[in-house]
A and B are shown apart, each in its own frame.
Chain A
């Protein structure tokens, strides 16, 4: 028997989250207690793991956030004098990665960054860190900007309202980092 038709995405409430999306929400709420981590009970998925569109979306965003975090680390290694400038970006993306990693089952956690949502990957493998600090900061700012644009689309696409809220916040964080890094790049120009 075919499954009943899925209702159109009309009013989205925070309660209208199921399966992986509920896990994402639970993780999101638990994520604020870094110092005293609670074990988040992940509800058993109502469908086979990996088929929930929000879990797939989370896996894609997780790959993007990991790529961005790695790029920040590469830049810090290449330019140790930028460590303080990059501390905020590093902390933000690490927080995003931790949150998302708890929500994504291991077997769905390894897509290529953003290949499923568009033909323009948001966070390509780092093409190499520019040799001068100013351009290195500017390159990171552009990468944050791309991440934010992809994040906007992800937040729009999420089925769960609660998950959309967190994704939009992550996109906003990337926008803030883009602004901060861009200003820092101009200071060093």
Chain B
């Protein structure tokens, strides 16, 4: 995977994350689940910011930023608080995997960006109830 391909793949992941967090944020009750609502809102803001950063990073690499799809599948029914949290965990774990791939396919500033994003995703997934892993973002090492 070239650095540009890695950045494009990460941008595609951010498009999906922004969409899904937008859906999740619309379904959470900020009066009944204020903590969850705040965490979902924070995650939405972070991923929207990363999407914009990646768009610029792709252009810097002389690429044409990949566009968002019109819709994405939400990973769970996303109705109850538990389902909303589970959907957020899936999103963060998918993003962690993409960030780890980007670490391996880039260098310098782009690699540093991906390392920091991976560490953030690893902690963020825990805020949605995930347990610590031995090798976050690296599926073939499991656990």
B-binding residues in A (CB < 8 A): 9-14, 28-29, 31-32, 88-89, 91-92, 95-96, 99, 148, 152, 155-156, 161-162, 164-166, 168-173, 175-177, 179-180
A168 near B133: Cβ-Cβ < 8 Å: no
Q: How many residues of B contact A (CB 8 A)?
A: 35
**Main DSSP-derived SS at the B contact region:** helix
B108 near A14: Cβ-Cβ < 8 Å: no
Residue of A155, A172, A176 contacting most chain B CB atoms (<10 Å) = A172
Residues of B close to A13: CB separation below 8 A: 1-2, 105
Residues of B close to A176: CB separation below 8 A: 122-123, 126, 132-133, 136
Number of A-B contacts (CB under 8 A): 115
B135 near A12: Cβ-Cβ < 8 Å: no
**Main DSSP-derived SS at the A contact region:** helix
B142 near A32: Cβ-Cβ < 8 Å: yes
Given A169-B136, A172-B96: A161 in contact with B103 (beta carbons within 8 A): yes
Q: Is B53 an interface residue (CB 8 A)?
A: no
A165 near B103: Cβ-Cβ < 8 Å: yes
A169 near B100: Cβ-Cβ < 8 Å: yes
A164 near B132: Cβ-Cβ < 8 Å: no
B107, B108, B112, B137: the one contacting A169 at CB < 8 Å is B137
Residues of A close to B121: CB separation below 8 A: 172
> Can you report 21 A-B residue pairs in the complex whose CB atoms are below 8 A from each other?
A12-B3, A13-B105, A14-B1, A14-B104, A28-B141, A88-B132, A96-B134, A99-B141, A152-B116, A155-B103, A165-B103, A165-B138, A168-B119, A170-B135, A171-B118, A172-B122, A173-B132, A175-B119, A176-B136, A177-B132, A180-B126
